[in-house]
A and B are shown apart, each in its own frame.
Chain A
Amino acid sequence: MKLSKDNIKYLNNFLDEELRYRETYNEMQDHILSALERYPEGSLFETAFYQVISTQFGGSAGLRAIDRQCRKHGLVEMRKRYFKHILEMFRLPSVIYLAGVSIAAFFLFNNISTNAIANITVFVIISCLPGIINGIRYIRTGYHFHSTKRSVSDDGFRMLKYFPGVMYALFLSLLWLLHFAITDILHSINPGVATVVFISYFLHAVAFYKMYKEEFKFNWAK
């Protein structure tokens, strides 16, 4: 069956309503169009359309289930890549650079450890880096807010972007709950502890950047 522009528009609107993610939308659109094109000429579009949706996908509920599964598996895959990039930093030759950064950070914190503002600034810069990278990622994808359908990768990057901030907030909340004076702790923070926290944030930023590069290298973002 040859599909008209109106038929395709009808399908696109339907999928837009039912599906949340770009990956599922594109894949289901291609699948349903391929199935409809196999119908004999003269078939009624509406009949064929609802037949495909109900028999092959189990209706709207089935489509939404595929969307949820796609998100679940997509996030698992992203999490695996994230930890793979972090582990890579502990292998040669990356571990040599990491040791260099750790030593430099330790000397830096040893000298400025009494300056709480300097400590906070370094952590804020490192934790903001993924946010900046994510912004560049949106621009490179050609993302239009309110009109571009979100992707599973968008969700994954957003969750990763907030991860250091959430950890930092939890850490400060814990201190507050334990009745510690936060400013006193930041003023007297041990350079060793500051280095460990800084390196954790640094590893996160590097893994995030590598995932961003990978996404465009393999054209996953589009």
Chain B
Amino acid sequence: MYNCAMSNNPLLKGTLQTIILKLLADNTEMYGYEITQKVKEVTDGEIMITEGALYPALHKLEADGLLETFTQVVDNRVRKYYRLTEQGGSEVADKLSEAAAYINQLQLLLNLKPSSK
């Protein structure tokens, strides 16, 4: 099984924000650990987001106004949840089509896509 950590794969690093935005679009609100586990679960453990990459990305999206946060006390500790802002919600579609176009081009360039001729 190919196991890939987000911190040392430049291809995945470039799509981290898109992954986070899509997860939050599908799950309304999530906390940091939940995001890492969700990615692991969806990809059967093949892609793992390292915390060193996740939190700076989350904080950047928050600073850019795409995410907002709120806290809740769970088991005597403060849990910080992230959710999409209105601006973040409209950014998801753009980011997804950007990623789809990029993957398409990459498949063409690397001859991964079967020729349609």
Contacts and interface: CB of A to CB of B under 8 A. Distances in A.
Is the A/B pair a real complex?
Answer: yes
Interface of A: 23-24, 26-27, 29-31, 33-35, 56-58, 62, 65-66, 69-70, 73-74, 76-77, 80, 218-219, 222
A30 B31 contact: yes
A169 B50 CA distance: 46
A128 to B, nearest CB: 30
17 contacts: A30-B78, A31-B31, A33-B77, A57-B51, A58-B52, A62-B51, A62-B52, A66-B51, A66-B55, A66-B56, A69-B55, A70-B56, A73-B56, A73-B59, A73-B60, A73-B63, A219-B70
Interface in B21-60: 31-33, 36, 50-52, 55-56, 59-60
Given A29-B77, A30-B77, A219-B71, A35 B62 contact: no
B17 interface: no
A69 B7 contact: no
Interface string B94-110: 00000000000000000
Interface of B: 7, 31-33, 36, 50-52, 55-56, 59-60, 62-63, 65, 70-71, 74-75, 77-80
Contacts of A34: 33
Contacts, number: 69
B33 A31 contact: yes
Nearest to A79: B63
B50 to A, nearest CB: 6
Given A56-B52, A69-B56, A77-B63, 20 more contacts: A26-B80, A27-B55, A29-B77, A30-B32, A30-B33, A30-B77, A30-B78, A31-B31, A31-B32, A56-B36, A57-B50, A57-B52, A66-B51, A66-B52, A66-B55, A69-B60, A73-B56, A76-B63, A77-B62, A219-B70
Contacts of B75: 33
A175 B65 CA distance: 41
B62 A73 contact: yes
A24 B59 CA distance: 10
B63 A56 contact: no
Closest 5 CB pairs of A and B: A73-B59, A69-B56, A77-B63, A73-B63, A34-B33
A31 B51 contact: yes
Contacts of A80: 63, 65
A27 B32 contact: yes
Contacts of B74: 30
A58 B7 contact: yes
A58 B63 contact: no
Nearest to B59: A73
A56 B63 CA distance: 24
A34 B78 CA distance: 12
A14 to B, nearest CB: 15
A26 B32 CA distance: 11
Given A26-B78, A29-B77, A73-B62, A35 B52 contact: no
A56 B50 CA distance: 5
